[in-house]
């Protein structure tokens, strides 16, 4: 067992990272086309090909998902994933061609590194090429390279976010797993409800976003925050059931990020059925939310600080 998203058979994960520009992307490929849906809760999302994932969408299969930095520019990285899959004959067969179906969501990291450094098609191809069913790096890598959290006081008080993943094996062979790219406006709270990563005050302690929000509201910047997530399972689910899992997975974000789903967040969660194990949708949804919460915690705990933006591990309280 790997204890990450790749514990779901047929799910491959790969990163592409720009450590100089402080951005990157994370590709999730399905060896066999998955049934995927999505739930968007933040008010400032950036997405590609998410309308077809609605429960009423007529096309059931999805071949890959992409989580990426670079704001709207980063959506171009999905073209590289498409090209990688097309070269290998993967896609929806329409007779004259096979069309790889790749949905994507972005987070905003342009103010962390170079604003000119954005994931492009070459980086998307690199992430897809690196995708494997194995342990993969967590923290400041891939889509989490430029991710930050706790920005109510501005970037000068922010802390480092990142990518995290977790999984669980249940009875009868059921596997539920999640991955999160954490670039939240709000605080990340630990298992006790204390602030693990949040806005840094002048005295070096951590503030509470909810308590600072009223004074800072006039300074909020549109769309500079987003947590992206994917829940994957080997359960055999219908498209409406997968959509319900995506909805329930947002509960995991709400348990660990506070506040979440704000007007300046673009929170997006995908859910994917990539197997044939019989399972009740509520069981998958409950554990999907739990794995999403754990993924967020792992993301910030594994993160590495950059100049002026420390990670949890670099603070006296962190661990």
Task: Report the helix count and the strand count for the chain, using DSSP H and E.
Answer: 5, 16
Residue 248 belongs to a domain: yes
The fraction of the chain above a pLDDT of 70, given in percent, is 97
pTM, 2 dp: 0.96
Question: What average pLDDT does this structure show over 120-149?
Answer: 97
Residue 316 belongs to a domain: no
Quote the domain boundaries for residue 191: 5-306
Residue 319 belongs to a domain: no
Question: Tens digit of pLDDT for each residue in 116-133?
Answer: 999 999 999 999 999 999
Confidence label for 107 from pLDDT (cuts 50, 70 and 90): very high
**What is the CB neighbour count within 10 angstroms for residue 130?**
17
pLDDT at residue 204, as a whole number? 85
pLDDT at residue 222, as a whole number? 57
pLDDT at residue 319, as a whole number? 39
pLDDT at residue 316, as a whole number? 64
pLDDT at residue 221, as a whole number? 63
Residue 314 belongs to a domain: no
Residue 315 belongs to a domain: no
pLDDT at residue 274, as a whole number? 97
Residue 312 belongs to a domain: no
CB 106 within 8 A of CB 72: yes
pLDDT at residue 215, as a whole number? 78
Question: Tens digit of pLDDT for each residue in 23-68?
Answer: 999 999 999 999 999 999 999 999 999 999 999 988 889 999 999 9
Residue 27 belongs to a domain: yes
10: pLDDT strictly greater than 90? yes
219: pLDDT strictly greater than 70? no
Residues 6+ apart with CB under 8 A from 131: 12, 13, 14, 27, 28, 29
Whether cis (ω within 30° of 0) applies to the bond prior to 224 is no
What is the token pair recorded at 92? 């929806």
Question: Tens digit of pLDDT for each residue in 65-106?
Answer: 999 999 999 999 999 999 999 999 999 999 999 999 999 999
Higher pLDDT, 14 or 222: 14
What is the token pair recorded at 156? 């000068």
230: pLDDT strictly greater than 70? yes
Please give the mean pLDDT across all residues of the chain.
Answer: 94
pLDDT at residue 318, as a whole number? 40
Question: Tens digit of pLDDT for each residue in 276-313?
Answer: 999 999 999 999 999 999 999 999 999 999 999 999 98
Residues 42 and 106: their CA atoms lie apart, in Å, by 12
The fraction of the chain above a pLDDT of 90, given in percent, is 88
pLDDT at residue 1, as a whole number? 62
* CA terminus-to-terminus distance, the chain: 24
What number of residues does the chain have?
A: 319
Residue 313 belongs to a domain: no
Residues 104 and 32: their CA atoms lie apart, in Å, by 18
Q: How many domains does the chain have?
A: 1
CATH number of the domain residue 182 falls in:
3.60.70.12
pLDDT at residue 223, as a whole number? 63
């Amino acid at each position: 067992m790997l204890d990450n998203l790749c514990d779901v058979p047929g799910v491959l994960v790969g990163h592409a990272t720009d450590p100089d520009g402080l951005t990157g992307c994370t590709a999730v490929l399905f060896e066999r086309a998955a049934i995927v849906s999505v739930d968007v809760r933040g008010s400032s999302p950036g997405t590609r090909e998410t309308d077809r994932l609605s429960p009423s969408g007529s096309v059931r299969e999805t071949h890959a998902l992409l989580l990426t930095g670079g704001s709207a520019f980063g959506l171009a990285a999905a073209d590289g994933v498409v090209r990688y899959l097309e070269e290998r004959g993967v896609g929806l067969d329409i007779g004259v061609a096979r069309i790889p179906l790749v949905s994507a969501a972005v987070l905003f990291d342009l103010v962390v590194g170079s604003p000119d450094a954005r994931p492009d098609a070459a980086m998307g191809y690199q992430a897809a090429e690196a995708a494997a069913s194995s342990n993969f790096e967590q923290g400041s890598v891939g889509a989490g390279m430029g991710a930050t959290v706790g920005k109510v006081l501005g970037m000068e008080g922010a802390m480092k976010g990142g990518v995290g993943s977790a999984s669980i094996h249940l009875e009868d062979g059921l596997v539920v797993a999640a991955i999160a790219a954490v670039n939240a406006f709000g605080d990340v709270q630990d298992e006790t409800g204390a602030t693990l990563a949040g806005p840094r005050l002048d005295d070096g302690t951590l503030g509470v976003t909810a308590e600072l929000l009223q004074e800072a509201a006039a300074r909020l910047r549109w769309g500079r925050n987003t947590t992206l997530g994917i829940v994957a399972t080997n359960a055999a689910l219908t498209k409406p059931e997968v959509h319900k899992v995506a909805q329930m997975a947002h509960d995991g974000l709400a348990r660990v990020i506070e506040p979440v789903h704000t007007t300046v967040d673009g929170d997006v969660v995908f859910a994917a059925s990539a197997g044939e194990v019989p399972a009740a949708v509520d069981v998958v949804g409950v554990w999907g939310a739990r794995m999403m919460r754990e993924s967020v915690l792992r993301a910030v705990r594994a993160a590495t600080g950059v100049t002026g933006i420390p990670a949890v591990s670099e603070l006296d309280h962190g661990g």
